[in-house]
Structure 1
């Protein structure tokens, strides 16, 4: 039904766009589909990948890369501006094999027309790869065009009738965990091939292996990196993908005194990198620790020696985790926690806020070493947990064994998918 009325909604949105800044911004983003070389119409392709964010791109990247390495053509549909740079980089690296399209959420139509783009006409691939849980009706209707559907990182999270029925359309499912695999097998029976593997694990392992050289290229923060390396594991904590709502965990008198005395160093990696977001974090931290204890470090502002640093720099959070043994992952006081696998497989003990119900990554880490990933019952319990940790007893072998198993399993699955 939504697909039928979508063209009329799109026309309405175009008409009212001057009155609503958000709509105008989104339509301007989608309009680039008609002007950029990477989005031009084409006659054939082999695989279409639907990606909603950077997290989804990292999940499907091993399969995507395997397809490209085989010399096959791909299409990438992406819905978030946050992942545009990486998608365009893939196009730049493989201009003869890759086409990209911004998902026309507000400019969708049954046919290409003026400002509007038709997904049905643009997607030429016989195989469509979805990731996680974004099942746009227009994409699902491609099933009626004879397309084969593959789901990566499938999970029974935040279920609804619509999502359950969407699952039934898939021919191949790669479930996020063993438990999720059992649920898919029960639902789909022999109607689909069901596997269990998290494709991000080998990707994180690769980034962890090359972390030092990646960080070394960020020459503007070299003095700060040397400072971090000089600290013992118990003397530093990283707060990854931090929101303002996460900072209540720092409001503990003992923790504050340790920071002020120089006995504990805090690195905050903001969830967003714009100046306004970083300034908000700095203001809150300054209220907690004092203005002279907090600084924002970026390419223009070198490290000056403060015990609390807000690092305004993208693309290296996964690598930074390798310098720590204790990581707090942000988002647990928002809609959902962010990636816990990056710090976890960088050999950190992980602490999160309470909103974990959407995270299959949390489930996976908990399955491996449940005593090394912690959920706060209340913000003030953060320091209590930190003080109770034994960093010398970290179960690295369990992580290593799982990483080796996952990499082997992933290669077999990809080989089967590619035929």
Structure 2
């Protein structure tokens, strides 16, 4: 099975290399890994004290960020070496990561694993949420370097727990300790004879809590919102955009809308503009010296401000629910705004919990969206009640990073 796995990884790399001829993300994936070991050997002293953190992409980085900050506080003589798999995560974090070193993860192979682990010789390796690479895990285990997984979630439908998943379960068995988000995940690991498990919760609650305390100064957003009711739509996809543009054009209320698309490609931005009959303006096109913005739709065409934009909204809409699944609802919930999203939220625990608490609402079509918006904009008392529900929910669930760092201080 190891041979099949290795061939599959190499084949994946070959396919991405071919795709890099025309696909910018694939090109970033390939070019970012060229000469990577030479750069690592030149930039990182051989005897540097290292803690290695791996994240799949940007979302997992945000999940691991509060823990990385605590690692820097409590292991001050160590440097954080952060690896990412995806180009979107890497490109968005260049120059703004809390880690000391930021690199792509070289593709998994026995040679790459030996070379990287030998050079880094980390005190520990921490994987955020998921993404297990066999040869890296094997080499870390061989060198007796502790492996921890944080903010993990497990469900029985995952490959590890299928009849054909024995090879993948072997990867889980190499982990020294799992910090899982919930009791169900702990029970699933116990059922598979994996007993080094703690329920720590989800570090994303710590991330959004910290964000709410340190919101960014955004004068353009403040001028746009002014004293209006505002719908902030984050991480939207085309199916979301069509509903939202129809809503603001047909709804009789004079509210404003901020749309922050998940992909800020030129084609997606033009798609939003073409479907929105009302005057709209891109964030980058706003004159920062102008105090009054008359357009009713503001399109965010940059990265890194959405979590603070949610603080200015009356209601939040989270995109992705008409596709593969919704994006992060916690970024909005921490500010207490009522939350709306599409029907596909089944695998997102926090979304389901907020729906049960009546702090969030799932809609299946335009009619339900229009009715829910009317209900929320018409009733300040309802939005105040939801504000309390959502902020209390965040407060109850934060603290995972503290649980994890306390364990690491005692056991490392």
Quote the Cα distance in structure 1 between the aligned partners of 2:30 and 2:45.
19
**Residue of structure 2 in register with 1:318 after alignment:** 307
> 1:278 is matched with which residue: 255, 269, 288?
269
TM-superposed CA distance for 1:150, in Å, is: 1.4
Quote the Cα distance in structure 1 between the aligned partners of 2:20 and 2:235.
33
**Residue of structure 2 in register with 1:240 after alignment:** 234
Runs of 5+ in structure 1 lacking a partner? none
Moved more, 264-273 or 242-251: 242-251
**Residue of structure 2 in register with 1:298 after alignment:** 284
**Does structure 1 residue 102 correspond to structure 2 residue 99?**
no
Distance 1:45 1:412, change over 3 A: same
Distance 1:404 1:340, change over 3 A: closer
Contact 1:59–1:152 (CA under 8 A) maintained in structure 2: no
Quote the Cα distance in structure 1 between the aligned partners of 2:371 and 2:249.
13
TM-superposed CA distance for 1:192, in Å, is: 0.3
> 1:197 is matched with which residue: 194, 197, 201?
201
Contact 2:231–2:315 (CA under 8 A) maintained in structure 1: yes
1:367-378 paired onto structure 2 within 5 Å: 370-378=357-365
**Does structure 1 residue 356 correspond to structure 2 residue 345?**
yes
Quote the Cα distance in structure 1 between the aligned partners of 2:208 and 2:312.
15
TM-superposed CA distance for 1:118, in Å, is: 4.7
**Does structure 1 residue 28 correspond to structure 2 residue 26?**
no
**Residue of structure 1 in register with 2:374 after alignment:** 387
Distance 1:236 1:17, change over 3 A: closer
**Residue of structure 1 in register with 2:127 after alignment:** 130
1:318-357 deviation digits (Å, cap 9, x = unpaired): 1111111311101122322111100011111111122223
Q: Size of the alignment, in residue pairs?
A: 389
Contact 1:33–1:39 (CA under 8 A) maintained in structure 2: no
TM-superposed CA distance for 1:51, in Å, is: 0.9
Q: TM-score, normalised by structure 2?
A: 0.81
Distance 1:176 1:391, change over 3 A: farther
Quote the Cα distance in structure 1 between the aligned partners of 2:182 and 2:28.
37
1:267-326 deviation digits (Å, cap 9, x = unpaired): 1012123333212211122xxxx2x52232315666741212212232111111111131
Distance 1:133 1:357, change over 3 A: farther
Runs of 5+ in structure 2 lacking a partner? none
**Residue of structure 1 in register with 2:250 after alignment:** 257
Contact 2:37–2:116 (CA under 8 A) maintained in structure 1: no
TM-superposed CA distance for 1:12, in Å, is: 5.3
Moved more, 265-274 or 30-39: 30-39
Quote the Cα distance in structure 2 between the aligned partners of 1:44 and 1:6.
34
**Does structure 1 residue 268 correspond to structure 2 residue 254?**
no
TM-superposed CA distance for 1:117, in Å, is: 9.3
TM-superposed CA distance for 1:130, in Å, is: 1.2
**Residue of structure 1 in register with 2:90 after alignment:** 84
> 2:211 is matched with which residue: 197, 207, 228?
207
Contact 1:262–1:307 (CA under 8 A) maintained in structure 2: no
**Does structure 1 residue 309 correspond to structure 2 residue 313?**
no
Q: What's the Cα RMSD here?
A: 3.4
Distance 1:275 1:21, change over 3 A: closer
**Residue of structure 2 in register with 1:175 after alignment:** 180
